[in-house]
Structures are given as C-alpha cells and as structure tokens.
Amino acid sequence: MISERLLKISAEAEEALAPIYKRIDEISYNNTARVLEIFKEHRVSDSMFSGTTGYGYDDIGRDTLDKVYADAFGAESAFVRHTIPNGTTALSIGLFGLLRPNDVMLSVTNEPYDTLCEVIGLKGANGDGSLADFGVKYDQVNFKNEEIDFEGIENKLNEYGDKLKVVFIQRSKGYLNRPTLTIDQIGKICDFVHARSQAYVVVDNCYGEFCEEREPCHVGADMMIGSLIKNPGGGIAESGGYIAGTKRAVKLASYRLTSVGTGCEVGASLGQNRNLFKGFFLAPHVVSQALKTAHFAAFVLERLGFDVSPKYNEYRSDIIQTVKLGYADGLIKFCQGIQASSPVDSYVTPMPWAMPGYQDEVIMAAGAFTQGSSIELSCDGPVRPPYTAFFQGSLTYESGKLAILSAADRLIKE
C-alpha cells in the first residue's frame, strides 16, 4: 500500500505538472505527424516486413527503413541494423569509420560515458584494439560553470589544426552530474566548429531522440548515433542501433559495419523489419510517456527532500532523471524498489556487480521485456560517491508513476 503522504504528493504533482504534460503531448503529436508523413512518402508496405537471409542483397524493407530514419532525423543518409547490440557498439562503428592513425578526437562535453572510454583507450589494457592502439589521439574540453567552454574548444581547434578529425558531443549526461545538452546548444557547437574547422561533429544521441522536435542532424551534426533499445525502438525493437548523418560520414561508418566496398549493401534483416518499423512509429509517443514519468519522479523525490536533476519544472532534452541518495545503501535500496515494481522479474533483488566496461561496481534494476532496454523503466548507477541513481524510461506513464511511488515508499520505510 502506498502511504497517504505519497498519494497526496502524487496528486499535487499531477496538478503542478499539467502544463508541462500538455507541452510534452504537443511535441509527441508533432513528431508523430512527421514520422507518419515520412512513412507515407516512402510507401511503407507489408511486403517490407519479410526478412532476407544470407547476404541480404536487395532487402527493400531494410533499405526503406534506412531512408525513413534519415528523413526523420534530418540527415542525408542513415543505416539501421538489428545486429548492433548496443549504443557503445554503434559509437565504436562510427568513430572507427571516421578516425585514422594520427587523427585527433576531441570531446567537448567532458569525459564520455564509461563504456566508451575503453573504446577510446582511456581505460582498459593496451593492445586490446582501442582507438589509441591505432594511433588516434584523444583530448577533451570540460564544461565551464556547467556551460560549453567555447574558448577552450577554439584553443584546441587552433592547437591541432587539420589533425583534429572528430569533435565529439555526448548529448546526455551519462554517469556525470552535468546538464544534458539541448538541440539549440548542439547547433551552436556545430556552427562554431564548422566555421573554424573541417572536423566531423559526431553526437552520441542516446536517450535524446524525440524529446524535442529536432535532432542533431537538423542543426548541423555530421553524424548522430543511438541505440534501438532506447528511444527510437519504441519499446518494440529487441536489439539494434543506428547511425545517421552526411552521406560521406555514413558511408565510412558502413564500411566498418561490414567491409570496405560492401557497406550498407549487405546484411540480412532476418525478419526483424516489422519490429523496427513499428517501434520507430511508436517512439514519439513512448518517449512522451518516459518524459512524463521523469517529471513526476522529480517532483515526488524533490518533495521528499532529495537532490534531483533536472528539477521537476526544468526543460528536458533527454529522458534521464537523477537523484542523489548520498550513501551506497540508499542507492541500492532505491534501485531494488524500482525492480520490485517492474512487470518482469519483480521478485529479483538486484545487487552491485563488476559489470563489463565499467570501472566501478554498478547496480542495475531492469525488469524489462527486452534485456537492457532503457526506454522501459530502469534504474542504475555506479556505486561511488555521491551515490546517484540514474533512471529513465517507462513504456506507459501509468506504470512509471506506480513504480516511482512504490520505490519512494520503500526508500522511506527502509
């Protein structure tokens, strides 16, 4: 039973959040209208849902889905593949496609997400095949007073000159306590870099798709990358990732996906096209449910005295909500509360463990229909100070609301 105190806070939350929910519904409506129009323009048909095998030559469903993604995301080209297991793999494909020995990769949003650090060569063992092993140099510009440091970026552009090949932007905060970038902010970085350099601007767009009415390629990004078991899969895609951008950038990435010369021409869809099309069509609405859940969670937890980010009434450009628990057991109990309120494996008690690709033990609550799906309600965090829980997703606002109230109730009682 949810306590009367929490039920009262819940009612106050929905009253205060009504104008914000209305704005979210408008964004969802406009994004859905855009996606629907693109489906119609490309004459999406039932015949495209049949899978191919072997080489996958002339897979009309796969090729049409690529065009749908490109148009919806404001890109010249794109590829979408169910065989890409996660966002880190998609990012690896993109970065290895663009970077060559002696090139420089510059991150302008602090250090990237933990799992990408091993791809770059910042962590892990030498000789494992990271970008560093292939002679790619890495540098970064940190936020300055929680804002993009344009002066720092300009200094690095001048320092490296033509050797600087990729300027990297991580839209979401990852496991850092820093702001998520809006599309307007990403556009300003793109304009700034392109006015001073020939470098590719690459955006890790994970958790951000359909949160606003534009995507990074709409504002000048040369490449944007994401996972299908996050926003664009709509909770239907069971695996996959995408890369969208300029024709040249996507072509180079496709050569790392398969091989030089074959690129996107091969790759059997194996009957997955239906789920990928369907998930993308549902994605704007599903993302709206996740956004509403995040706003609701922020209101409730802030009223209970926790430090949350973003605040309940702040603008959002991704689906992630953080709450600082302040101590390890608080983080663990909160994640366990989310797991206990999940539709799948609710009886399981998650515990911290040494998850591959992470430097600290991580606890993950993910009672999802698809393993690792972050568009379904999930909660996780590294067990390190300040012991912050990062939660995101929810296929429906109703289920997300129930989970947040149940987790909060458990945390208070514990």
Q: Where are the domains of the chain?
A: 4-31+281-413, 52-270
pLDDT tens per residue across span 119-154: 999 987 788 999 999 999 999 999 999 899 999 999
> In the 8-state DSSP scheme, what is residue 326?
S
pLDDT tens per residue across span 214-237: 999 999 999 999 999 999 999 999
Buried b (16+ CB within 10 A) or exposed e, 287-303: bbbbbbbbbbbbbbbbb
State mean pLDDT over 26-50. 97
pLDDT tens per residue across span 246-287: 999 999 999 999 999 999 999 999 999 999 999 999 999 999
354 has a pLDDT exceeding 90? no
d(CA 321, CA 173): 10
Cβ neighbours for 19, distance < 8 A, ≥ 6 positions apart: none
pLDDT tens per residue across span 62-104: 999 999 999 999 999 999 999 999 999 999 999 999 999 999 9
pTM over 0.75: yes
Cβ neighbours for 18, distance < 8 A, ≥ 6 positions apart: none
Percent of the chain with pLDDT over 70: 100
Superfamily of domain 4-31+281-413: Methioning gamme-lyase, C-terminal domain (3.90.1150.60)
Q: What is the pLDDT of residue 165?
A: 98
Q: What is the pLDDT of residue 359?
A: 77
Fold: same for 4-31+281-413 and 52-270:
no
- How many residues are there in the chain? 414
Cβ 170 vs Cβ 208: under 8 Å: no
Q: Is 2 helix (H, G, I), strand (E, B) or coil?
A: coil
414 has a pLDDT exceeding 80? no
Give residue for tokens 């078991």.
229
d(CA 376, CA 400): 9
For 62, the enclosing helix (H) or strand (E) is helix 60-72
Residue type, 366: A
* CATH class, range 52-270: alpha beta
- Based on its alpha-carbon atoms, the radius of gyration of the chain, rounded to whole angstroms, reads 21
The bridge status of strand 362-365 relative to strand 378-382 is antiparallel
- 200's tokens: 């590719």
